[in-house]
Amino acid sequence: MILHLKPNTKSAILLSIMVDKHFDFVIIGGGVAGLTAAQYGARANLSTAVIEAASNGGQSLLINDLENYPGVFPAISGYELIDAMVKQAKSFGAEFITATVKSLEKKESGFELATTKGIIAAKAVLLATGAKHRHLNIDGEEKLIGKGVSYCASCDGPFFRNKRISVIGGGDAAFDEATFLSNLTDKVYLIHRREAFRAQAAVAERVMNNPKIEKMLNKIPVKINGTEKVESIVLKDVKTGEEIVHETDAVFVFVGMDPQTELVDFVQKDSSGYVVTDENMETSVKGLFCAGDVRAKPFRQIVTAAADGAYAAHSAEKYIRGE
Ligand code: NAP
Protein backbone atom coordinates (compact mmCIF):
# COMPACT_ATOMS: atom_id res chain seq x y z
CA MET A 1 0.00 0.00 0.00
CA ILE A 2 1.51 3.35 -1.03
CA LEU A 3 0.34 6.20 1.06
CA HIS A 4 1.28 9.66 -0.15
CA LEU A 5 1.10 12.17 2.69
CA LYS A 6 0.36 15.74 1.71
CA PRO A 7 3.25 17.99 2.75
CA ASN A 8 1.61 19.24 5.89
CA THR A 9 3.56 20.36 8.95
CA LYS A 10 0.94 18.99 11.35
CA SER A 11 1.09 15.48 9.92
CA ALA A 12 4.91 15.60 9.75
CA ILE A 13 5.10 16.51 13.46
CA LEU A 14 2.56 13.81 14.32
CA LEU A 15 4.56 11.25 12.32
CA SER A 16 7.85 12.06 14.04
CA ILE A 17 6.12 11.75 17.44
CA MET A 18 4.73 8.33 16.50
CA VAL A 19 7.99 6.89 15.15
CA ASP A 20 10.02 4.98 17.76
CA LYS A 21 13.26 4.67 15.81
CA HIS A 22 14.82 6.20 12.71
CA PHE A 23 17.44 4.55 10.52
CA ASP A 24 18.99 5.30 7.15
CA PHE A 25 18.72 1.70 5.98
CA VAL A 26 16.37 -0.96 7.33
CA ILE A 27 16.72 -4.57 6.20
CA ILE A 28 13.77 -6.92 6.61
CA GLY A 29 15.12 -10.47 6.98
CA GLY A 30 18.32 -11.79 8.57
CA GLY A 31 19.33 -14.42 6.01
CA VAL A 32 22.54 -14.30 3.98
CA ALA A 33 21.28 -11.51 1.69
CA GLY A 34 20.14 -9.36 4.61
CA LEU A 35 23.27 -9.96 6.70
CA THR A 36 25.57 -9.12 3.80
CA ALA A 37 23.63 -5.91 3.17
CA ALA A 38 23.84 -5.07 6.89
CA GLN A 39 27.61 -5.36 6.82
CA TYR A 40 27.96 -3.27 3.66
CA GLY A 41 25.42 -0.70 4.84
CA ALA A 42 27.05 -0.25 8.25
CA ARG A 43 30.53 -0.03 6.71
CA ALA A 44 29.24 2.71 4.40
CA ASN A 45 28.32 4.68 7.53
CA LEU A 46 24.57 4.28 7.12
CA SER A 47 22.67 3.78 10.36
CA THR A 48 21.56 0.23 9.60
CA ALA A 49 19.09 -2.14 11.24
CA VAL A 50 18.16 -5.75 10.51
CA ILE A 51 14.66 -6.77 11.54
CA GLU A 52 14.17 -10.53 11.85
CA ALA A 53 11.16 -12.28 13.37
CA ALA A 54 12.87 -15.57 14.25
CA SER A 55 16.52 -16.68 14.27
CA ASN A 56 18.83 -15.01 11.81
CA GLY A 57 19.93 -17.29 9.00
CA GLY A 58 16.78 -18.43 7.23
CA GLN A 59 17.29 -21.41 4.91
CA SER A 60 21.06 -21.45 5.56
CA LEU A 61 20.46 -22.82 9.03
CA LEU A 62 19.32 -26.07 7.42
CA ILE A 63 22.67 -26.67 5.69
CA ASN A 64 24.91 -29.21 7.41
CA ASP A 65 27.94 -28.92 5.16
CA LEU A 66 28.27 -25.74 3.16
CA GLU A 67 30.68 -27.04 0.55
CA ASN A 68 30.23 -24.62 -2.35
CA TYR A 69 30.84 -21.19 -0.80
CA PRO A 70 34.04 -19.78 -2.33
CA GLY A 71 37.00 -19.85 0.01
CA VAL A 72 35.18 -21.62 2.84
CA PHE A 73 37.10 -24.89 2.83
CA PRO A 74 36.80 -27.34 4.45
CA ALA A 75 33.01 -27.02 4.64
CA ILE A 76 31.35 -25.42 7.66
CA SER A 77 27.69 -25.57 8.69
CA GLY A 78 25.13 -22.94 7.71
CA TYR A 79 24.81 -22.08 11.40
CA GLU A 80 28.55 -21.35 11.68
CA LEU A 81 28.44 -19.10 8.62
CA ILE A 82 25.44 -17.14 9.94
CA ASP A 83 26.94 -16.80 13.41
CA ALA A 84 30.07 -15.24 11.88
CA MET A 85 28.04 -13.00 9.55
CA VAL A 86 25.94 -11.61 12.43
CA LYS A 87 29.08 -10.88 14.49
CA GLN A 88 30.73 -9.28 11.47
CA ALA A 89 27.73 -7.00 10.75
CA LYS A 90 27.48 -6.03 14.45
CA SER A 91 31.21 -5.24 14.55
CA PHE A 92 30.61 -2.54 11.93
CA GLY A 93 27.67 -1.09 13.86
CA ALA A 94 24.57 -2.77 12.42
CA GLU A 95 21.72 -3.02 14.89
CA PHE A 96 19.59 -6.19 15.19
CA ILE A 97 15.92 -6.03 16.14
CA THR A 98 13.88 -9.16 16.85
CA ALA A 99 10.38 -8.27 15.68
CA THR A 100 7.74 -9.05 13.10
CA VAL A 101 7.10 -6.40 10.48
CA LYS A 102 3.33 -6.00 10.19
CA SER A 103 3.27 -3.46 7.37
CA LEU A 104 5.55 -1.42 5.18
CA GLU A 105 4.42 1.92 3.77
CA LYS A 106 6.06 4.41 1.48
CA LYS A 107 5.88 7.90 2.89
CA GLU A 108 6.87 11.28 1.52
CA SER A 109 10.25 11.17 3.27
CA GLY A 110 11.02 7.45 3.09
CA PHE A 111 9.36 4.39 4.57
CA GLU A 112 7.51 3.51 7.73
CA LEU A 113 7.47 0.00 9.16
CA ALA A 114 4.88 -1.02 11.75
CA THR A 115 6.54 -3.76 13.81
CA THR A 116 5.76 -5.69 16.98
CA LYS A 117 8.44 -3.49 18.64
CA GLY A 118 6.97 -0.19 17.46
CA ILE A 119 7.11 2.08 14.44
CA ILE A 120 10.41 2.30 12.59
CA ALA A 121 11.23 4.89 9.93
CA ALA A 122 13.81 4.37 7.20
CA LYS A 123 15.19 6.34 4.29
CA ALA A 124 15.66 3.13 2.29
CA VAL A 125 14.43 -0.43 2.87
CA LEU A 126 15.73 -3.80 1.73
CA LEU A 127 13.30 -6.69 1.46
CA ALA A 128 15.31 -9.86 2.10
CA THR A 129 12.53 -12.07 3.42
CA GLY A 130 13.44 -15.20 1.44
CA ALA A 131 11.06 -17.95 0.53
CA LYS A 132 9.31 -20.65 2.51
CA HIS A 133 8.82 -24.37 1.85
CA ARG A 134 6.02 -25.27 -0.51
CA HIS A 135 3.63 -27.99 0.61
CA LEU A 136 2.22 -30.79 -1.55
CA ASN A 137 -1.34 -29.85 -0.57
CA ILE A 138 -2.53 -33.46 -0.61
CA ASP A 139 -4.75 -35.43 1.77
CA GLY A 140 -3.05 -36.34 5.03
CA GLU A 141 -0.12 -33.91 4.66
CA GLU A 142 -1.14 -31.16 7.10
CA LYS A 143 -2.44 -33.47 9.83
CA LEU A 144 0.76 -35.57 9.76
CA ILE A 145 3.23 -32.66 10.01
CA GLY A 146 5.44 -33.51 12.98
CA LYS A 147 4.23 -37.12 12.81
CA GLY A 148 6.40 -38.16 9.89
CA VAL A 149 5.79 -35.33 7.42
CA SER A 150 8.66 -32.86 7.48
CA TYR A 151 10.26 -30.04 5.48
CA CYS A 152 13.62 -30.12 7.30
CA ALA A 153 15.93 -33.14 7.19
CA SER A 154 18.50 -31.89 9.69
CA CYS A 155 15.73 -31.02 12.18
CA ASP A 156 13.63 -34.19 11.92
CA GLY A 157 15.86 -36.76 10.19
CA PRO A 158 17.35 -38.14 13.43
CA PHE A 159 13.83 -39.24 14.55
CA PHE A 160 13.82 -41.70 11.65
CA ARG A 161 17.16 -43.41 12.17
CA ASN A 162 17.08 -46.87 10.52
CA LYS A 163 13.50 -46.30 9.29
CA ARG A 164 12.10 -46.12 5.73
CA ILE A 165 12.37 -42.52 4.60
CA SER A 166 10.79 -41.03 1.46
CA VAL A 167 11.97 -37.76 -0.06
CA ILE A 168 9.76 -35.90 -2.56
CA GLY A 169 11.27 -33.63 -5.23
CA GLY A 170 13.91 -33.50 -7.96
CA GLY A 171 15.74 -30.26 -7.18
CA ASP A 172 18.91 -29.43 -5.22
CA ALA A 173 17.10 -29.45 -1.88
CA ALA A 174 15.61 -32.94 -2.38
CA PHE A 175 18.96 -34.33 -3.53
CA ASP A 176 20.99 -32.68 -0.77
CA GLU A 177 18.59 -33.83 1.90
CA ALA A 178 18.30 -37.37 0.50
CA THR A 179 22.09 -37.62 0.77
CA PHE A 180 21.98 -36.36 4.36
CA LEU A 181 19.18 -38.79 5.28
CA SER A 182 21.07 -41.74 3.76
CA ASN A 183 23.58 -41.30 6.58
CA LEU A 184 20.80 -42.12 9.06
CA THR A 185 19.23 -45.13 7.40
CA ASP A 186 19.85 -47.71 4.68
CA LYS A 187 16.54 -47.08 2.92
CA VAL A 188 15.82 -43.70 1.38
CA TYR A 189 13.33 -43.45 -1.51
CA LEU A 190 13.71 -40.44 -3.79
CA ILE A 191 10.32 -39.87 -5.40
CA HIS A 192 10.18 -37.53 -8.37
CA ARG A 193 7.43 -36.75 -10.87
CA ARG A 194 9.70 -36.81 -13.94
CA GLU A 195 12.79 -38.61 -15.24
CA ALA A 196 14.90 -35.45 -15.55
CA PHE A 197 16.11 -33.56 -12.48
CA ARG A 198 16.54 -29.90 -11.68
CA ALA A 199 19.40 -30.58 -9.25
CA GLN A 200 22.89 -29.47 -10.24
CA ALA A 201 24.93 -32.21 -11.91
CA ALA A 202 27.41 -32.66 -9.04
CA VAL A 203 24.62 -32.97 -6.46
CA ALA A 204 22.58 -35.32 -8.68
CA GLU A 205 25.56 -37.57 -9.39
CA ARG A 206 26.14 -38.13 -5.69
CA VAL A 207 22.55 -39.34 -5.30
CA MET A 208 22.72 -41.51 -8.43
CA ASN A 209 25.80 -43.29 -7.08
CA ASN A 210 24.40 -43.76 -3.57
CA PRO A 211 23.29 -47.39 -3.12
CA LYS A 212 21.11 -46.45 -0.14
CA ILE A 213 18.91 -44.14 -2.25
CA GLU A 214 16.30 -45.84 -4.43
CA LYS A 215 14.87 -43.66 -7.20
CA MET A 216 11.13 -43.83 -7.88
CA LEU A 217 10.54 -41.77 -11.03
CA ASN A 218 7.42 -40.55 -12.82
CA LYS A 219 5.50 -40.79 -9.56
CA ILE A 220 3.38 -38.08 -8.03
CA PRO A 221 2.17 -38.24 -4.41
CA VAL A 222 -1.62 -38.08 -4.08
CA LYS A 223 -2.25 -38.99 -0.42
CA ILE A 224 -0.35 -39.63 2.81
CA ASN A 225 -1.85 -42.36 5.01
CA GLY A 226 -1.59 -42.63 8.79
CA THR A 227 -3.42 -41.58 11.93
CA GLU A 228 -0.90 -41.15 14.75
CA LYS A 229 2.07 -41.34 12.38
CA VAL A 230 2.89 -41.69 8.68
CA GLU A 231 2.28 -45.26 7.49
CA SER A 232 2.33 -45.01 3.71
CA ILE A 233 2.06 -42.69 0.75
CA VAL A 234 -0.12 -43.21 -2.30
CA LEU A 235 1.81 -42.58 -5.52
CA LYS A 236 0.32 -42.18 -8.97
CA ASP A 237 2.39 -43.14 -12.00
CA VAL A 238 2.18 -40.15 -14.34
CA LYS A 239 2.59 -42.35 -17.43
CA THR A 240 0.18 -45.22 -16.66
CA GLY A 241 -2.15 -43.55 -14.15
CA GLU A 242 -1.69 -46.57 -11.86
CA GLU A 243 -1.71 -45.89 -8.11
CA ILE A 244 0.49 -47.77 -5.66
CA VAL A 245 0.65 -47.68 -1.85
CA HIS A 246 4.26 -47.16 -0.85
CA GLU A 247 4.98 -48.01 2.79
CA THR A 248 7.17 -45.49 4.56
CA ASP A 249 7.78 -44.06 8.04
CA ALA A 250 8.56 -40.50 6.99
CA VAL A 251 7.88 -38.16 4.09
CA PHE A 252 10.34 -35.30 3.60
CA VAL A 253 8.92 -32.75 1.17
CA PHE A 254 11.29 -30.60 -0.94
CA VAL A 255 9.18 -29.34 -3.82
CA GLY A 256 10.38 -25.76 -4.01
CA MET A 257 9.80 -22.51 -2.24
CA ASP A 258 7.23 -19.70 -2.18
CA PRO A 259 8.58 -16.12 -1.97
CA GLN A 260 7.58 -14.19 1.16
CA THR A 261 6.18 -11.01 -0.33
CA GLU A 262 3.11 -10.29 1.83
CA LEU A 263 4.53 -6.89 2.86
CA VAL A 264 4.95 -5.58 -0.65
CA ASP A 265 1.74 -6.04 -2.61
CA PHE A 266 2.57 -2.72 -4.28
CA VAL A 267 5.80 -3.75 -6.11
CA GLN A 268 6.20 -5.42 -9.47
CA LYS A 269 6.48 -9.24 -9.33
CA ASP A 270 6.98 -11.98 -11.91
CA SER A 271 4.39 -14.65 -12.77
CA SER A 272 5.64 -16.87 -9.89
CA GLY A 273 5.33 -14.04 -7.36
CA TYR A 274 9.04 -13.19 -7.00
CA VAL A 275 9.93 -9.48 -6.74
CA VAL A 276 11.34 -8.02 -9.94
CA THR A 277 14.47 -5.84 -9.60
CA ASP A 278 17.05 -4.37 -11.90
CA GLU A 279 20.69 -5.46 -11.64
CA ASN A 280 21.19 -2.97 -8.78
CA MET A 281 18.44 -4.73 -6.73
CA GLU A 282 16.14 -1.74 -7.16
CA THR A 283 12.40 -2.60 -7.23
CA SER A 284 9.63 -0.71 -9.02
CA VAL A 285 9.35 1.51 -5.89
CA LYS A 286 12.11 4.10 -5.40
CA GLY A 287 14.11 3.47 -2.24
CA LEU A 288 12.86 -0.10 -1.86
CA PHE A 289 15.43 -2.75 -2.72
CA CYS A 290 15.14 -6.52 -2.79
CA ALA A 291 17.76 -9.27 -2.43
CA GLY A 292 18.12 -13.03 -2.02
CA ASP A 293 15.61 -15.82 -2.59
CA VAL A 294 12.57 -13.51 -2.64
CA ARG A 295 13.93 -11.80 -5.77
CA ALA A 296 13.17 -12.99 -9.31
CA LYS A 297 16.42 -14.56 -10.58
CA PRO A 298 17.60 -17.78 -12.19
CA PHE A 299 20.03 -19.12 -9.56
CA ARG A 300 19.29 -19.17 -5.82
CA GLN A 301 22.42 -19.97 -3.84
CA ILE A 302 24.14 -18.62 -0.73
CA VAL A 303 26.77 -16.99 -2.89
CA THR A 304 24.15 -15.26 -5.10
CA ALA A 305 22.22 -14.10 -2.00
CA ALA A 306 25.43 -12.56 -0.61
CA ALA A 307 26.13 -10.82 -3.93
CA ASP A 308 22.55 -9.47 -4.02
CA GLY A 309 22.96 -8.12 -0.49
CA ALA A 310 26.18 -6.28 -1.36
CA TYR A 311 24.63 -4.73 -4.48
CA ALA A 312 21.49 -3.73 -2.57
CA ALA A 313 23.44 -1.93 0.18
CA HIS A 314 25.61 -0.18 -2.39
CA SER A 315 22.50 0.98 -4.31
CA ALA A 316 20.72 2.04 -1.11
CA GLU A 317 23.74 4.13 -0.12
CA LYS A 318 23.72 5.91 -3.49
CA TYR A 319 19.97 6.45 -3.23
CA ILE A 320 20.17 7.88 0.31
CA ARG A 321 23.05 10.21 -0.61
CA GLY A 322 21.00 11.39 -3.58
CA GLU A 323 23.46 10.22 -6.21
P1 NAP B 1 13.33 -26.45 -7.03
O2 NAP B 1 14.68 -26.34 -7.63
O3 NAP B 1 12.25 -25.55 -7.52
O4 NAP B 1 12.84 -27.97 -7.22
C5 NAP B 1 11.57 -28.38 -6.79
C6 NAP B 1 11.37 -29.83 -7.21
O7 NAP B 1 10.11 -30.28 -6.69
C8 NAP B 1 11.31 -30.00 -8.72
O9 NAP B 1 12.02 -31.16 -9.08
C10 NAP B 1 9.83 -30.13 -9.01
O11 NAP B 1 9.55 -30.99 -10.09
C12 NAP B 1 9.31 -30.79 -7.75
N13 NAP B 1 7.91 -30.44 -7.47
C14 NAP B 1 7.35 -29.21 -7.42
N15 NAP B 1 6.05 -29.27 -7.07
C16 NAP B 1 5.78 -30.58 -6.89
C17 NAP B 1 4.61 -31.30 -6.52
N18 NAP B 1 3.46 -30.68 -6.24
N19 NAP B 1 4.69 -32.65 -6.43
C20 NAP B 1 5.85 -33.29 -6.68
N21 NAP B 1 6.99 -32.67 -7.03
C22 NAP B 1 6.96 -31.34 -7.14
O23 NAP B 1 13.35 -26.23 -5.45
P24 NAP B 1 14.46 -26.57 -4.32
O25 NAP B 1 15.12 -27.87 -4.59
O26 NAP B 1 13.79 -26.34 -3.02
O27 NAP B 1 15.54 -25.44 -4.51
C28 NAP B 1 15.15 -24.06 -4.39
C29 NAP B 1 16.34 -23.19 -4.76
O30 NAP B 1 17.37 -23.33 -3.77
C31 NAP B 1 16.96 -23.61 -6.09
O32 NAP B 1 17.34 -22.47 -6.80
C33 NAP B 1 18.18 -24.43 -5.69
O34 NAP B 1 19.22 -24.39 -6.64
C35 NAP B 1 18.59 -23.78 -4.37
N36 NAP B 1 19.26 -24.78 -3.50
C37 NAP B 1 20.59 -25.00 -3.69
C38 NAP B 1 21.24 -25.95 -2.91
C39 NAP B 1 22.71 -26.22 -3.16
O40 NAP B 1 23.34 -25.48 -3.91
N41 NAP B 1 23.30 -27.24 -2.60
C42 NAP B 1 20.55 -26.69 -1.96
C43 NAP B 1 19.18 -26.45 -1.80
C44 NAP B 1 18.54 -25.51 -2.60
P45 NAP B 1 9.82 -30.52 -11.61
O46 NAP B 1 11.30 -30.59 -11.80
O47 NAP B 1 9.05 -31.53 -12.42
O48 NAP B 1 9.25 -29.14 -11.72
Give the mean pLDDT of 122-138: 96
Task: Give the pLDDT score at 17.
Answer: 53
Give the mean pLDDT of 210-238: 97
* DSSP code at position 134: P
The 10 Å Cβ neighbour count of residue 30 is: 28
Q: What is the mean pLDDT of the chain?
A: 93
Which of ligand 1's atoms lies nearest the C-alpha of 134? 15
Whether 255 lines ligand 1, by a CB cut-off of 6 Å, is yes
156 is catalytic: yes
155 is catalytic: yes
Whether 254 lines ligand 1, by a CB cut-off of 6 Å, is yes
Task: Give the pLDDT score at 5.
Answer: 36
Give the residue whose CA is nearest to atom 7 of ligand 1. 255
Query: How far are the Cα atoms of 85, 169, 238 from residue 243, in angstroms, in the given order?
Result: 48, 18, 9
Whether 85 lines ligand 1, by a CB cut-off of 6 Å, is no
| Digit-coded pLDDT (tens) for 283-296 | 999 999 999 999 99
The answer to which of 50-64, 99-113, 297-311 has the lowest mean pLDDT is: 50-64
| Digit-coded pLDDT (tens) for 46-94 | 999 999 999 999 888 877 788 889 999 999 999 999 999 999 999 999 9
Q: Which of 19-23, 244-248, 296-300 ranks highest by mean pLDDT?
A: 244-248
Give the mean pLDDT of 299-310: 94
For ligand 1, the distance from its centroid to the CA atom of residue 196, given in whole angstroms, is 12
Pick from 152, 127, 171, 133: nearest CA to 292 = 127
CB neighbours of 108 closer than 8 A, spacing ≥ 6?
4, 5, 7
Tell me the pTM: 0.77
Candidate of 300, 302, 304, 308 to mutate for ligand 1, largest count of ligand atoms within 8 Å of Cβ: 300
- Determine contact, residues 32/292, Cβ cutoff 8 Å: yes
152 is catalytic: yes
Q: CA 266 to CA 1: how far, in whole Å?
A: 6
pLDDT band at 19 (very low <50, low <70, confident <90, very high): confident
Task: Give the pLDDT score at 6.
Answer: 38
> Which residue has better confidence, 14 or 190?
190
